[in-house]
Structure formats: C-alpha cells, structure tokens
Amino acid sequence: MLKEVTIGKYYPAQSVIHKLDPRVKLAGTILFIISLFPYSTAEVYLIASLYLALMIKISRIPVGYMLKGLRPVIILIIFTAVFSLFLTPGIDVVFTIGSVHITRSGLKKAVFMVLRLIYLIMGSSLLTYTTTPNQLTDGIEKALKPLNRIKIPVHEFALMMSLSMRFIPILMEEAEKITKAQSARGADFEQGGFVKKAKNIISIIVPLLVSATKRAGDLALAMDARCYHGGSNRTKLKPLKYSFRDFAGYVIVIFYFALIIASGQVDFIGY
C-alpha cells in the first residue's frame, strides 16, 4: 500500500542537483516556497513556472514521475479549485449557473491556488527526490548547528530522525507479521463497523509497541558498545563541504528570489 506512494522517495540519478550540498537544496526549497505566497500575478507565476521547469529538467527526474507524486493530493487540489471558484464573492460576474455566480476574481483565485499547491508539492518533492534521507538529516543538522548554543540538542534530533527512518520498514514488516499471526488464530480485521475495526487495531499496536521498546533498548546498548557518546568530538565518513558548485547554487537561488520580489512590485499584464 505504502509502496505506491512516490511522494518523498529518493530517485537516484546523476545530476548536478543530486550532487549539490543538501543545505543549498534546503535553502532553495524554502525560498521557492516563500516566493509562491506574497504575489498572485501572472509575471511572478511565469517566472516561478520557468524556474521550476528548469530545475526539474536539470535534475533529470522524469516529468511523469514528478506528476505521479501529485496523485495522493489530487482530491485536495480539486476541492481547493471548486471552493475558490464558486465561493468567491464579487461584482465582476463572468457567468451564472442557476443561483451560483462565477466571478472573475474567483476564477483568478482558483487558478493561482491550484498552481500554488502543485508548485509547493513539486518543489518540496524535488528536494526529497534528489536528496537521500541521510544527506537531508546531515544537512539539517549542520544548518541548525548554531542552535546548539542555546542548548537545543541538534545532533540528537538529527540522529533520532535517521534512526526512525531506518526502523520504519522493519516495524512495517513486523506489523504485517503480527497481523498474519493473529489472523491465523482467528482474529478478523476485515469485517465489522468502524469502531470494531479500530478496536481490532489495538491488538496489533500493543505487541508492536512492546517489540519497538525492546528494539530501542537493544539499539541503545549496541550504540553504547560502539563508543557512542553524543555529538562531541565526532568525525564524519561523509562530511558536508561546500564546493564551487554549491556557491553557484546559492547565487542562483538568491537571484531567483530577488527576481520574484522585483516582478511582484510591477503588474504589467494587469491582472
């Protein structure tokens, strides 16, 4: 079931974007998301579209694969479109169906809301498609390192994140095993109403929790045995180091953001 969801999954390919430092990609994604919000003009969205298309092209991720990532949120997109289309009040009515008026501003709002949602998802998937979970946590850890000074345990949080990602498939497999074991003993997970189904899940969750706790204890012991003593004096197998490529990346990201701000100030087409 979860295997079909492509959103947030790493897509291995050889591209400049894949090789970029995760911090550059993080900054780029955050700025791209921010850039979608302040202005709803055609110029801004034209620039954003071109920029996103260019990035997808450079990343060598098939467009079809990018679009597949939108599938889980398609209902949300349709809802947003319908609501903005029919429920925006105004006097600039374009046409009327029965008692429902569709206004010019409603039309405009629907288009921009849909584009904004699609770009949000595509932009952030581009980050996860081109960055392995390990690189991502490494990048977050390094980028947030200054927070250490105000006693926020950044290294520990990053480690927790990567450990939970490592154990997701293991726990999923275990949940499947428990379900099968209980079905074999006559438990029925298929029939009954919502309440009954929810109650049945308890008999899976409890053994799963017990085993997860035991695993956590074992893991802590194993980490202790391998000299783990927190983030101090730690070295890295793959340390993050900026190269020329990464500075160029920052320049492009900042240039894009400046362009958006500048074009947001003027409204040539006059929407």
Partner 1 sequence: MIKARNVAFEYNRRDNNNNVVSIERALDGVDFDIKPGEFISIIGHNGSGKSTLAKHLNALITPTEGTVWVDSLDTSDELNTLKIRQTTGMVFQNPDNQIIADVVEEDVAFGPENMGVPTEEIWERVNKSLMTVDMLERRSDSPNHLSGGQKQRVAIAGVLSMRPRCIVLDEPTAMLDPAGRRDVIDAVTKLNKKEGINIILITHYMEEIIHSDRVFVMNKGKIVMEGSPSYIFERAPELEEYGLGLPAVTRIAHILRNGNINIPADVFSPDELVSCILENLRQYGC
Catalog residues that contact partner 1 under the rule CB under 8 A.
132-134, 162-163, 165-166, 169-170, 215, 218-219, 221-229, 233-239
> In whole angstroms, how close is the CB of 137 to partner 1 at the nearest point?
10
Residue 3 or 238 with smaller CB distance to partner 1: 238
Residue 192 or 230 with smaller CB distance to partner 1: 230
Half-sphere exposure of 237 (CA within 13 A, CB side): 2
Distance CA 197, CA 223 (A): 38
Between the alpha carbon of residue 54 and those of residues 40, 47, 126, 190, the distances in Å are 21, 10, 12, 47
In contact, 133 and 162? CB cutoff 8 Å: yes
> In whole angstroms, how close is the CB of 27 to partner 1 at the nearest point?
24
Residue 235 or 265 with smaller CB distance to partner 1: 235
Residue 196 or 214 with smaller CB distance to partner 1: 214
> In whole angstroms, how close is the CB of 22 to partner 1 at the nearest point?
15
Length of the chain measured in residues: 271
> In whole angstroms, how close is the CB of 155 to partner 1 at the nearest point?
12
Q: What element of type H or E holds 105?
A: helix 104-130
Residues 6+ apart with CB under 8 A from 28: 127, 249, 253
Residue 166 or 180 with smaller CB distance to partner 1: 166
> In whole angstroms, how close is the CB of 154 to partner 1 at the nearest point?
16
> Which tokens go with 96?
């009327």
